[in-house]
Amino acid sequence: MNAHSATLRSKEEIMEKLMKPEVITGSEMLLRSLVLEGAECVFGYPGGAVLFIYDAMHGFSDFNHLLTRHEQGAIHAADGYARASGKVGVCIATSGPGATNLVTGIATAYMDSVPLVVITGNVATSFIGTDAFQEADITGITMPITKHSYLVRKVEDLPRIIHEAFHIANTGRKGPVLVDIPKDVSAQTALFQPVKEVNIRGYNPTVHPNKLQVEKMLKAITEAERPVILAGGGVVYSGGHEELLEFVTKSDIPITTTLLGLGAYPSGNELWMGMPGMHGTYTANTAIQSADLLINIGARFDDRVTMKLQGFAPKAKIVHIDIDPAEIGKNVPTDIPIVGDIKTVLQLANKDVKRADHADAWRKQVQAWKQEQPLRYVDSNEELKPQWVIEMIHEATKGEAIVTTDVGQHQMWAAQYYKFNQPRSWITSGGLGTMGFGFPSAIGAQMACPDRVVVSINGDGGMQMCAQELAICAINNIPVKVAIINNQVLGMVRQWQEIIYDNRYSHIDLAGSPDFVKLAEAYGVKGFRATNKEEANAAWEEALKHPGPAVVEFVVRKGENVYPMVTQGNTIDSMILGDAE
């Protein structure tokens, strides 16, 4: 028997053992159910209301738990795990402050349609509603930011609830599901019977599209002279990237990908125009404004993409493909709505899609815009430019790393200058814009993909929000490579105050930040600093060679701005092109 078959047999034996019906506690039911659902790593932080659950982990060798240093670190790590793997991320926290510390992470996942199962403890059922110690109505608090939630009242219901939670989180429009378990329920015993089937009344997401609507889209393509495809995160979440590549190849239509859609289509392809919107490329924004057909595939017409709605894609017939019917027509009036799973819709469309024959002049125009107005910046040999740092990281990793970011200028520079050619390689907080997300999400991504290089690009502000998670990288030798773009300021806020608020700078100075090299070393992590190109190349090379986690602080120019930029209240063709204009 070879090692692979032995491993498979071992997994089968574990599953068979865990599925055995027997009388056990609710806590044991929970752990068994999570393993049976395929949870490879659970991120969490214990407390009084979940002590029975943590007691059940003692000696449970088949259950893998990673102790973070803050509940927010736990849920961002679970989020990064889910985005990198395509599986459901799982985290656990206690009641009261433990649960409320998860709220920002739940909202982050909800806005970006990330599948999570969030498990919280609660006070015993007899104390619910009495303002007991560490009691918080977490199901009520999170109702607007969860796809569904459960308050478990009976221990017998736990196996069904966990099975349903995973199903709801990872089907339809994906999202976080909260399971709140009172302390007495976790301690009670009952017969454990694994649940295999799912039957949830009223929950039946539309997967297969209306064929007539797909035919209308295909007819519109043959008639269009200036078609554009706008692809979003839905393509990545559905696993439809190969179908999208085929669709674009067959139709020969220029494509732009949103912030969350980066990697859904190879950036090296000549039909790719870059990212649209507030910090989108000149080509993508100009093409959308000139298009006579705009095909939205799995994007939600976010305001950072559309900017001023009155005047967005003013000449275009709008096709919108989305699994969530509530998104269609919500922001932009839609001419051809198509509800269904992106992968399934594109598989159907690819059977009959034809090249947009009338669009030769259009494709030449798009290529001309790309040549005339590429992304560019004024480089320097005296000081580090952040754009150059991103390009250097891209070149050193050959564009094959999983890149996570925090939120701000560095996030936009990474989106612009790191080129992604495969899905699930780009992990960022898009909808909520959560500072503190970047580093712990990289830990989750590394746990999901241990054989990939994972790079966490952060600002000096966001890095300080979850820097304590350096401890678990050191203790568990999680080899995340952290790049801190240190401009000693809240960069994006400073940029807005410069451009929109007439240089009235207010409370943006981060000059009192720690020495990040010493901070890393205090946690037992290798630390480097670079202030020029030579140091940057050398430090990053050393970080990549180092077998464990490493932090590299890049000290960059303080006053650098992200361009292009569209200010609020303007249409996306009203771009400030910046210093290199």
Task: Report, as residue numbers or ranges, the catalytic residues.
Answer: 71, 133-134, 183, 492
Between 491-499 and 409-417, two packed helices, what is the crossing angle to 10 degrees? 100
Q: What is the DSSP string of 326-384?
A: GGTTTSS--SEEEES-HHHHHHHHHTT----GGGHHHHHHHHHHHHHS-------SSSB
Q: Peptide bond before 386: cis, by omega within 30 degrees of 0?
A: no
Is the distance from CB of 357 to CB of 342 less than 8 angstroms? Answer: no
Is the distance from CB of 389 to CB of 556 less than 8 angstroms? Answer: yes
Between 342-350 and 211-223, two packed helices, what is the crossing angle to 10 degrees? 60
DSSP secondary-structure letter at 267?
Answer: T
Task: Give the three-class secondary structure for 179.
Answer: strand
Q: What does the alpha-carbon distance between residue 366 and residue 364 come to, in Å, rounded to a whole number? A: 5
Distances (CA, A) of 117 to 102, 238, 446, 550: 12, 18, 19, 30
Is the distance from CB of 125 to CB of 164 less than 8 angstroms? Answer: no
Q: What does the alpha-carbon distance between residue 421 and residue 343 come to, in Å, rounded to a whole number? A: 18
540 token code pair: 């990053």
Is the distance from CB of 185 to CB of 162 less than 8 angstroms? Answer: no
Q: What does the alpha-carbon distance between residue 307 and residue 573 come to, in Å, rounded to a whole number? A: 10
Q: What does the alpha-carbon distance between residue 565 and residue 284 come to, in Å, rounded to a whole number? A: 13
Give the number of other Cβ atoms within 10 Å of residue 497's Cβ.
17
| Radius of gyration over every alpha carbon of the chain, rounded to an integer in angstroms | 24
Strand partners, 22: 192
Contacts of 497 (CB under 8 A, 6+ apart): 503, 504, 505, 506, 508
Contacts of 236 (CB under 8 A, 6+ apart): 260, 261, 263, 264, 298, 423, 424
Is the distance from CB of 241 to CB of 376 less than 8 angstroms? Answer: no
Distances (CA, A) of 2 to 5, 7, 14, 329, 385: 6, 9, 18, 55, 52
509 token code pair: 């100075």
